[in-house]
Amino acid sequence: MRRPRVLSVGSDPTIVKLLRINLEVRGCKTLVAKESTKALQVTQREQPDLVILDTKIPDVDDFELCHKLREQKQIPVIVLSNRCDVKDKVEFLTHGADYYITKPFSIVELVAHVRAVFRRTKSTFLTLQLRAKIEPDPTNPKYIVTVPGRGYQFRDKL
Each residue's pLDDT tens digit, 82-109 = 888 999 999 999 988 999 999 999 999 9
Residues 101, 92: contact at Cβ < 8 Å? no
pLDDT value for 101: 95
Domain borders along the chain are: 5-121, 123-158
Q: What is the largest CA-CA distance in the chain?
A: 57
Please give the average per-residue pLDDT across 115-128, as a whole number: 70
Q: Is the predicted pLDDT of residue 21 greater than 60, yes or no?
A: yes
Residue 130's closest CA among 122, 138, 139, 118? 138
Q: Please, what is the angle between helix 62-72 and helix 86-94, to 10°? A: 20
Average pLDDT, the chain: 85
Each residue's pLDDT tens digit, 22-79 = 999 888 899 999 989 999 999 999 989 999 999 877 777 888 889 888 887 788 999 9
Q: Pick 148 or 12 by higher pLDDT.
A: 12
CATH of domain 5-121: 3.40.50.2300
79 DSSP β-pair partners: 53, 100
